[in-house]
Amino acid sequence: MFNILKNILLLNFLRSLIKRDLIKYPTPKNLTYFWNYGSLAGLFLAIQLITGFLLTLHYMASIDMAFNCIESIMKDLNYGWLLRYMHSNGASFFFITIYIHIIKAFHFTSYLYPRHILWSSGVIIFILSMGAAFLGHVLPWGQMSYWAATVITNLITVLPYFGNDLVYWVWGGYNINSNTLSRFYSLHFILPFVITLMVIYHLYELHIVGSSNYLNNSLISLDKINFFPYFIIKDLFGLLLLILLFINLFSFNPEYLSHTDNYIPADPLVTPAHIVPEWYFLAFYAILRSILDKLYGIIFMGLSLGGLLLLPFIVDKSVKNVSFSYTDYVINMSLIIIFIYLSIMGVAFPISPFIEVGCILAHALLLFYFLIIPLSSNLYNNIYFENNTNNVSYVNITNKFTYIKKIIFFLFCSFFLYFFLKEYIFGICFDIASNMKEYDQINERAILFIKQTDKTASTLIEKYFSFNSENKGSLFIS
């Protein structure tokens, strides 16, 4: 009877799964604390799921009640402030771990075969997480929430023919209303479970190809040890430090990462002086805002995310070890610096020179994705791996993507050249012509002003002399 119950509850399966994929999981010996952030991201995803579910029990998706409902959770519900601050700040910590995890995988070229599927699933998790975070940002229904929803949903209007109709369908009316909020609420509730399924698949792929390591090479089984108890100590130590930082933030400074305008109820008639998204959206917001043409801004923002998915197909690199390539190290650090500066441009006011700098950085980001990284990898292969015969299988696999890479590279170069000519060459010529016309108008106005001034001055001088002559004559007679 007990054995039947264990089979029904899948206890034997769970026990074997934990033993095989956790306790006895073969792990490279040379892993550092840099490999902790994947598990830490999973922890904060669990925190978001639990706190989010508890908050849904008290939230009402109505534009008339949403803001007051959040205030009621904070003030009237027992430990409601704790749930709300854990959920809002937990999103920030989740993205901190996600960004560091992506930087680690990118730096050690984990997007290459045989980990390309693992990389793609991770990027999809990142994109879905951004969607869930945006929807959650709208739900408090403050000023930033309302205007973020307005700005992002209006991007759909760039679609030809049916863009406006699609926006009205998303809104559930001809403006943002309670239907919009309830739809965002439903999607925000569903997306975390989709993300959880993708995380399970991500772990499945990880356990198929095995963990990478600092040298990024394939280690034999003798170079690996069990995850428990050796590496779980590192995970627990990193977990303890991050949890202490998390508790310190939501206990003593819970509004540090929030915008003050979002504590004002949403008002469609009052536009904030400066619309700023959450910090983890700043770089993409800067790209969208710096490209003055809305369509091209959306394309650039999409390519900045899509470029991560395309990396396995446009980079052909047999030597997958950045530790032996100073060029790759410089390129990776340059990309990180560009992303950080884009985030700074996203929080700056949309005035010159921030717009111009953001536009240059957006172009530089795509140039690194689609031009510099593929060229540097091909150059490195030609120099280092020209006569190596041990990578025949890898070369055969990567040759399958040759035509795809050429097509992607050609399309990107064509698009970039067209946009460069349209935005800069033609734009500069138009600006010069308009400036010359403006200068001519200014000169004409200046000449007219001088003539009027001269005429007024001569009239005043004549009146002055005539007045003096009359007064002198009267004095002389008297």
Catalytic positions are 207, 211, 234-235, 278
* Residue-by-residue DSSP string for 25-61: -EEETT--GGGGHHHHHHHHHHHHHHHHHHHHTT---
**What distance in Å separates the CA atoms of residue 306 and residue 177, rounded to the nearest whole number?**
31
Whether residue 140 is preceded by a cis peptide bond, meaning omega within 30 degrees of 0, is no
Phi, psi of 59 (to 5 degrees): -90, 145
d(CA 87, CA 49): 9
H/E element, 27: strand 26-28
Tell me the C-alpha distance between 307 and 357, whole Å.
Answer: 21
Residue recorded with tokens 């049916």: 162
CA terminus-to-terminus distance, the chain: 140
Residue 248 φ/ψ, nearest 5 degrees = -60, -40
Look at residues 38, 43, 8, 44 and name the one whose alpha carbon lies nearest to residue 25.
Answer: 38
Interatomic CA distance for residues 125 and 202, integer angstroms: 9
Contact predicate 93/44, CB 8 Å: yes
| Residue (of 316, 418, 412) closest to 365 by Cα position | 412
Rounded distance between C-alpha atoms, residue 107 and residue 104, angstroms:
5
* Residue 155 DSSP symbol: G
What distance in Å separates the CA atoms of residue 456 and residue 445, rounded to the nearest whole number? 16
Nearest to 95 by CA among 279, 302, 335: 279
178 touches 63 (CB < 8 A): yes
User: What is d(CA 309, CA 129) in angstroms, rounded to the nearest whole number?
Assistant: 15
* DSSP one-letter code for 35: G
CA distance 341 to 99: 15
Q: Which residues contact 429 (CB under 8 A, 6 or more apart)?
A: none
Peptide bond into 374 cis (omega under 30): no
3-state class (DSSP) for residue 224: strand
